[in-house]
A and B are shown apart, each in its own frame.
Chain A
Amino acid sequence: MGMTITEKLLARAAGKEAVSAGELIMAKVDFCLGNDITAPVAIDEFEKAGFDSVFDPARIALIPDHFTPNKDIKSATLVKQMREFARRFHIEHFYEVGRVGVEHALLPELGLVGPGDVVVGADSHTCTYGALGAFATGVGSTDLAGAMATGRVWFRVPASVKFEFSGAPGPFLTGKDFILYLIGEIGVDGALYEAMEFTGPAIAGLSMDSRFSMANMAIEAGAKNGIFAADATTKAYVKGRFRRESLYAYSDTDAVYARVYAWDASRIPLMVAKPHLPGNAAAAADLNDIAVDQVVIGSCTNGRIEDLRQAAEVLRGRKVHKDVRCIVIPATQAVWRQAMTEGLFEVFLEAEAVVSAPTCGPCLGGHMGILAPGERAVSTTNRNFIGRMGHPTSEVYLAGPYVAAASAVAGHVATPQQVGLKAPGAQEAVAAGVPDKGERSAR
């Protein structure tokens, strides 16, 4: 019987010829990571259990990114604990302000994770690395403690579900629209405990950054991991970057899938997810009556260079609406530098958006842009749960960078076309149906 990519990678990690869905295995991990929220709890557990060594100091990353730059004494104390642990065990990949970035943007960028890896991270969005053809999944702090000490972790082998996208996506459509559409179709527990495999001709045309943003949100459908088979795009990305040897795995033609979904990408509109679930999918163009107080462009979902270029494409020559605060957060130092070199900051500053240091910050309601009671944000992040970005009565609409930037300009949820952006190749600007500049619909 054939195996899926996920099954092949887990079989290798478990030292077995084959594994099948439902099987419980003890697997070797290629890399593990934790952040300033989860690693301190892991370190406590590691010490409490009496471990006195780590399995491999070069295969552990400790990334203080959530409350960075440290927002208060308690957060600073958590990072201090990580720093001391990193020094004690000579953990090479510990990065702080000036070097640190949002973990799931930073690790692929530094080439610490790559094709064929089995990665666990004490952060639910660890599934991001599936974009590289790795098996990557979020775990808890105790799992991380066990992985740091022994290099091993237990898994129940997930059943795989195949998602095939065909057709030519419309203008301004990105991976974020694909994944918001998908979660809208199957629901936030639509792939519970399962492996999501993204495939089809429309996927082949997606950039690495779009794939990262899709794999990133596999967890929002309840999945264990999301994975893309490596192709020329993947290979070009990891070339000269990934520090270990790539292992390319592909699903067998007779591999077993629990379900197969097939969608025509040409029918997917520019998407948002309405409060308070990532599965509350809606077309952005239909929500012009939703006024916005804040727009956030950044995060492990959409804080990479391509995301910032897309936001700049909309903001170039336009202004952020007078009633909106627009916060741009490049995910890493390298993305920051690249955006600066390309002149994107000039565009953001002219538009009257602010550019922040790399941080998870407002995505989880940590700091750097918290919402007051009743306020509403459009955000390129991955979760819109109750109270996620601030007060429990505040609201978050999830979207890709194009829609987020257009919403910042319009003062309400909008598409790039609705703020006058010409679709590539289009003959005339489509600006119909947008209220006049400065006018906002009632809430």
Chain B
Amino acid sequence: MDTDQIIAARYLNMKTAEELACHLMEDCDAEFPQKVKAGDIMVARENFGCGSSREHAPIAIKGAGVPVVIAKSFARIFYRNAFNTGLPILVAPEAVDGISEGDELEVDLETGSIRNLTTGKDYQAEALPPFMRELVAAGGLLPYLKKSTSER
């Protein structure tokens, strides 16, 4: 799933979460922006967010009210953009195989535990490295850098 499909380039003359959310995943499923509801979780396979570095992709996902993306793997720029902008993402290949569209999930972002309430199965996402946890705790990259720069 590439970032051109998450948010097409023709909308990159916009930058607010509200505007971008209206076109989320449009080239993949034209009805998606109408269908997605706040609290819906996106579940994906390998290399989610590959291609362009556009931060508009995580911004649009957050704008649609999606609280977390679970995938088998993430493309590297999307991975860092998600952390830097405060979109929680979880790498959990087994969970992805055990989730079908419409299932209800309970996700603990602190521990990375994922419960599929529809099937009753539990999964565990990959643990975050300590540095990434620090970034998240600081509230994202810029507050982290601001704090560490002023401490020097």
Contact = CB atoms under 8 A, between A and B. Distances in A.
B50 A224 contact: no
Contacts of A149: 142, 145-146, 149
B124 interface: no
A117 to B, nearest CB: 18
Interface size class of B (residues with CB under 8 A): 35 or more
Contact of A138 (B53, B73, B84, B131): B53
5 contacts: A41-B15, A143-B84, A224-B76, A364-B9, A364-B52
Given A38-B53, A138-B77, A385-B4, 16 more contacts: A48-B142, A51-B146, A75-B13, A78-B13, A124-B51, A139-B77, A140-B81, A140-B85, A142-B55, A142-B85, A143-B80, A146-B84, A146-B141, A154-B135, A385-B2, A387-B5
Interface string A364-390: 111000000000000000010111100
A139 B80 CA distance: 8
A122 B47 contact: no
B22 interface: no
A139 B140 contact: no
B131 to A, nearest CB: 4
A37 interface: yes
Given A192-B47, A385-B51, A150 B84 contact: no
Nearest to B58: A140
B15 A44 contact: yes
Interface of A: 24, 26, 37-38, 40-41, 44-46, 48-51, 66-67, 71-72, 74-75, 78, 122-124, 126, 138-143, 145-146, 149-150, 152, 154, 156, 188-189, 192-193, 219, 222, 224, 364-366, 383, 385-388, 392
B46 A189 contact: yes
Which 5 A-B residue pairings sit nearest by Cβ, starting from the closest?
A: A140-B81, A74-B13, A49-B142, A142-B84, A364-B9
Contacts of B9: 37, 364-366, 388
B56 interface: yes
B57 to A, nearest CB: 9
B75 interface: yes
A410 B65 CA distance: 49
B142 A45 contact: yes
Nearest to B5: A386
B50 to A, nearest CB: 6
Contacts of A145: 142
B47 A24 contact: no
Contacts of A37: 9, 12, 54, 56
B58 to A, nearest CB: 8
Contacts of B98: none
Nearest to B12: A37
